[in-house]
Amino acid sequence: MVKPGWIGFAVLLYAAQSMAGEVAMSDAWSRATAPGQDSAAVGLHITSQKDARIIAVSSPAAASAEIHSMTHENGMMKMRQLESLPLPSKQEVVLGAGGDHLMLLGLKKPLVAGDTVPLTLTLQFADKSTEQVTLKATVQPLTHEHHHHHD
């Protein structure tokens, strides 16, 4: 006779394990900050096995973090905050390659090439359940062609 409490525990464990395999992330990067710069974009590759959205981002390295889109308007690059970012099932979404990206705002210290920046993403699935996943972005050297200004 199995006690009800144990059944609940086993179900929870199973759920946690199956969720962990739902989202794959790789190649997370950020870029070294220039003097006086206190924000930085983060890019990564992310694939969810089922429909999900990124609904929040946070990092202990920054006062706040946002999901941004980047668009060209009248020849100007404009970034704006997105409420959430869709992750269609089984499709790799590439963030940071000149389009949608994550943005660290109010960096607590400059980012130096070779450092890693921890981030937590909150994902929401179609059934409204949420899951937090963590990743580490590797700080790459500042290069001219990837530098953009935040307004």
Which residues contribute to the site for Cu ion (CB under 5 A)? 68, 79, 103
Q: Which of 127/151 has CB closer to Cu ion? A: 151
Task: Kindly state the smallest distance separating residue 81's Cβ from Cu ion, in Å.
Answer: 8
Angle at 48 between CA 46 and CA 54, to 5 degrees: 70
Q: Which of 18/71 has CB closer to Cu ion? A: 71
Element spanning 106, H or E: strand 101-107
Task: Kindly state the smallest distance separating residue 5's Cβ from Cu ion, in Å.
Answer: 47
Written as six digits, the tokens of 130 are 């949420």
Task: Kindly state the smallest distance separating residue 61's Cβ from Cu ion, in Å.
Answer: 15
The CA–CA distances, whole Å, from 20 to 17, 65, 89 equal 5, 23, 15
Contacting residues for 150 by C-beta, under 8 A, at least 6 apart: 39, 79, 103, 105
Q: Which of 90/150 has CB closer to Cu ion? A: 150
Task: Kindly state the smallest distance separating residue 130's Cβ from Cu ion, in Å.
Answer: 23
Q: Which of 79/95 has CB closer to Cu ion? A: 79
